[in-house]
Structure 1
Amino acid sequence: MGRAGSPPEDEAEGRCPLWSLPEELLLLVCAYLDAQALGRLGQACRRLRRFVAKDALWRRLARTALNTGFSARGADLVTGIPVKERVKVSQNWRHGRCRRVPLLKWKRNLMPWMQLDGDYLYLSQAEDIHVYWLDPNVTSLQCSPQVVFSGHQEDVCRFVLANGHIVSGGGDGAIVLHKRNGSCSFKFLGHEQEVNCVDSQGGIIVSGSRDKTAKVWSLSPGRAGKCLHTIQTEDRVWSIAISPLSSSFVTGTACCGHTSPLRIWDLGSGQLVTCLGTDFHRGAGALDVLYETPSTLLSCGYDTYIRYWDLRISTRECVKKWEEPHDSALYCIRSDGNHMIASGSSYYGVVRLWDKRQTRCLQSFFLSSPVSSPVYCLRFSTTHLYASLASALYGLDFTTS
């Protein structure tokens, strides 16, 4: 109810001079407003509140904000969450406003790896991979997973979700394929020593091992498990990633020799395409690599730097790099495909958020102080971040007001 003597709100809305403008022109006027001004405009009346909630008004702001689900080219990769809400949550990411919750704890010290798939989290636990449903309204996970995938005789090192399968490499040198609906599995001996990393795309698996080889495997019907190429890397392979075009893949090695730890190989022939960088010191192994686009990728490792490579510009030098402030090795990195990077450090469970447009990290979260543990793996959505440590899984909820 309005104040005494004031016109009803519907009548006041009708008198608003803004509504004499065509909607296209009103959208153009509102395009000059920032998030705060749009929010204030929406408080004027109910009709404006509905109008300024339109996704079209917030897309421009979302493309320049952190982790709103928009790629560097402007494509919207998220459905079901209004763009206005994502811009609001983005401010929490930037300013470090979140609720930190230990979601799961275990007694053994492990090196867990994980993947997100919508509302489900896949987490390696020793020889198995457990699947948990993520309920955003609870502060912990159920102790019993919904599904358990087994098949390795030793710990799972890394795994990926691809084409309806879980592809995992383990300390037993084996590669195991599970159908994600749990109907069947396939296992073959991949390497002479532990399989440190795997990736899969388009009917192909690539794997890297402590035995100083990288291998390319077929998943085609009738040829599943057939080795197409064996590449002598002359160094232990810690990380691996297939290009989005499925034409090449990159290996990250221990850098114990005189060659670059980052090398790109042709997927069809197995031949070396190029080496990345020339200024790595001995022991600067690459522990994690990921492609953002066919021509850009990120790497991190023992040399304490996140490096951003653009193959169109140079393969000899990265175009940007960010140094871990406490001189810690970086075990893992993830990107929103636009402006934000998240990294996991080797001490005290430190997760850091970075804006590519800045030189220093935005926010730091210490998840295992005073007991030190690396962040072995991290994943995030537009609202939550998950970090796996030696004996716990942590969740950071950025939807908090």
Structure 2
Amino acid sequence: MLFSQLPDDVLYHILSYLDYRSLSRLSQVCKSTYHFINRDVVWRRVAKDFLNTGITRNGTDIYGHIPLKKRVKTAQNWYDGVCRRTTPLKWKTKLLPWLQLDGDVLFLSQAADVETYYLRHDTRKLHRNPSEVYSGHKGDVCRFVLTDSHLVSGGSDGKILVHSRGRGRGMSMELSGHNQEVNCLDSKNGLIISGSRDQTTRIWTLSSTCPRDTIPMYDRVWSVAISPALSSFATGTACCENFSPLRIWDVERSECLCILGSQFRLGAGVLDMVFESPFQLLTCGYDTFIRLWDLRLNPRKCVKEWEEPHDSSLYCIQTDGNHMIASGSSYYGVVRLWDKRQSECLQVCTVYPPRGRNDTCRQVENTIL
């Protein structure tokens, strides 16, 4: 009996003993084995080692539409540092914007506006002209965040604007309350948390233009993040006072639940943070480290960290919810890609060609991945 004539359950059992390299080589034998081995059921066991079955820590599969074989290949390429580079859009100005990709639409800030650019499927590049412009600030946009129905932006004018997304959108809603620029904000499920240079954190809801609560921080607030469970949020300050810059707060009572870390140097402010799950938090800042905090432990502590090789401040981080971390630093506009299973940097991308430190150092502060 030929190999391809064996019953499916026997073939599945035989293939379960092969690793990803052997499966890939076997799929090149002929068309029939190629189509059979490309089935997700064949790669499910292998995918557990690479992708945790593709399920993120909050229980959702963000890549469910992509075949498991392709996902395993991409994950192994990440691990080996084999990554493709493309340039979807260029700017002649030296200003690096805040960026956020939503499907095939790129949102980016340009001075006081937030513009949207659609991806061209034929060339995999972005349209040159923006399709929509969200405006209203009297100063630069310091940070913005997307929800399913709104775009929320904070500006150097101290205002927070809530825009309805989509064509035919109505007027934006203005939330006033901060006396200085809004350095950071986050929004989930109608809840908005903002932090400002005026040393306060404010809690807002979409049903009112007045803050629901104001928390004095006694230090400049550089970063905030709402937990996926929506019951708590984290704040990061400039660390100019004699207390830890990282704190977890209760949303309903506006009370501090815990303080993270005690070994921060004076001035080691936390510039960006992101929740991977209700109990895992990634942070970065002036002390050049990316840190992973486990909030289930008592006391809560850092369980892993990655150091910027050039000893540069880290202004922003992003994660895919699985193994990949991207960080933006102040060193010549360098973006680093990390695999959490490794201690060394996976790949380096330079946003600008080096023209001297002063040309790019201050601009990267306004960049998010």
The two structures share one fold, judged by TM-score above 0.5: yes
1:77 aligns with 2:67: no
User: Which one of the candidate residues 329, 350, 359 is aligned to 1:345?
Assistant: 329
Are residues 1:213 and 2:200 paired?
yes
Please name the residue that 1:391 is paired with. Answer: none
Alpha-carbon separation, structure 2, partners of 1:258 and 1:114: 33
Pick one of 116, 122, 129 that aligns with 2:101.
Answer: 116
Q: Which residue of 2 aligns with 1:44?
A: 29
Take 2:59 and 2:174, find their aligned partners in 1: how far apart are those partners? Answer: 40
| Contact 1:173–1:190 (CA under 8 A) maintained in structure 2 | yes
CA RMSD of aligned residues (A): 2.2
CA contact (8 A) 2:88 2:126 kept: no
- Tell me the matched-pair count: 360
Do structure 1's residue 200 and structure 2's residue 200 form an aligned pair?
no
Deviates more, 1:46-55 or 1:285-294: 46-55
- 1:78 Cα offset (Å): 1.6
Note if 1:303 corresponds to 2:287: yes
Shift of 1:18: 5.1
Tell me whether 1:159 sits opposite 2:159 in the alignment: no
- Choose 89-98 or 181-190, whichever is displaced more: 89-98
Retained in 1: the 8 A contact 2:176–2:210?
Answer: no
Q: Following the alignment from structure 1 to structure 2, what is the Cα–Cα distance between the partners of residues 90 and 130?
A: 32
Equivalent in the alignment of 1:127: 112
User: Which letter maps to 1:246?
Assistant: L
1:105 aligns with 2:91: yes
Give ranges in structure 2 of 5+ residues lacking alignment.
none
The answer for the alignment partner of 1:5 in structure 2 is none
| Closer/same/farther in 2, CA of residues 322 and 46 from structure 1, 3 Å limit | same
Unaligned residue ranges in structure 1 (runs of 5+): 1-14, 380-401
Counterpart of 1:287 in 2: which secondary structure? strand
Distance 1:131 1:302 in 2: 30
1:343-381 per-position Cα deviation (integer Å, ceiling 9, x unaligned): 1111112121222222222222223231242544344xx
Q: 2:251 pairs with 244, 258, 267, which one? A: 267
Please report how far the alpha carbon of residue 172 of structure 1 lies from its aligned counterpart in structure 2 after TM superposition.
0.5
Alpha-carbon distance in 2 for matches of 1:31, 1:97: 28
Q: What's the CA shift string for 1:56-83, capped at 9, x where partnerless?
A: 2223434433799542477531243222
Alpha-carbon distance in 2 for matches of 1:350, 1:68? 32
Q: Is the 8 A contact 1:278 1:316 kept in 2?
A: no
Q: Is the 8 A contact 1:68 1:90 kept in 2?
A: no
How far apart are 1:27 and its partner, in Å? 2.1
Kept in 2: contact 1:64–1:339 (CA 8 A): no
- Give the 5 Å matches for 1:329-340: 329-340=313-324
Residues 1:152 and 1:59: Cα distance change in structure 2 (over 3 Å): farther
Contact conserved, 1:248 with 1:264, CA < 8 A, in 2? yes
Offset at residue 335 of structure 1 (A): 1.2
Question: Is residue 310–residue 331 contact of structure 2 (8 Å, CA) maintained in 1?
Answer: no
Identity %: 52
Shift of 1:45: 2.4
Offset, 1:282: 0.5
Residue aligned with 1:103, SS: coil
Amino acid aligned to 2:84: C
CA distance in 2, matches of 1:213, 1:307: 24
Residues 4 and 32, structure 2, Cα contact 8 Å, conserved in 1: no
Q: Which amino acid aligns with 1:32?
A: Y
Going from structure 1 to structure 2, the CA distance change for 1:105 and 1:69 (only over 3 Å counts) comes to farther
| Aligned amino acid, residue 377 of structure 1 | T
Q: Residues 74, 198 of structure 1: CA spacing in aligned structure 2 closer, same or farther, 3 A cutoff? A: closer
| Aligned partner of residue 90 in structure 1, secondary structure | helix
Match of 1:191 in 2: 178
- C-alpha distance after superposition, 1:270-322 (max 9, x if no partner): 11111110110011111110100001110000000000000112445301111
For residues 25 and 119 of structure 1, do their structure 2 counterparts lie closer, same or farther at Cα, with a shift above 3 Å needed? same
Instruction: Name the CA distance, whole Å, in 2 between partners of 1:86 and 1:199.
Output: 30
1:2-401 aligned within 5 A: 15-17=1-3, 19-21=5-7, 23-65=8-50, 70-72=55-57, 75-94=60-79, 95-101=81-87, 103-107=89-93, 109-138=94-123, 140-182=125-167, 183-184=169-170, 185-220=172-207, 224-371=208-355, 372=357, 373=360, 375=364, 376-379=366-369
**Secondary structure at the counterpart of residue 338 of structure 2:** strand
**Per-residue deviation, 1:137:** 4.2
**TM-score, length of structure 2 as denominator length:** 0.91
Larger mean Cα displacement after TM superposition, 86-95 or 267-276: 86-95
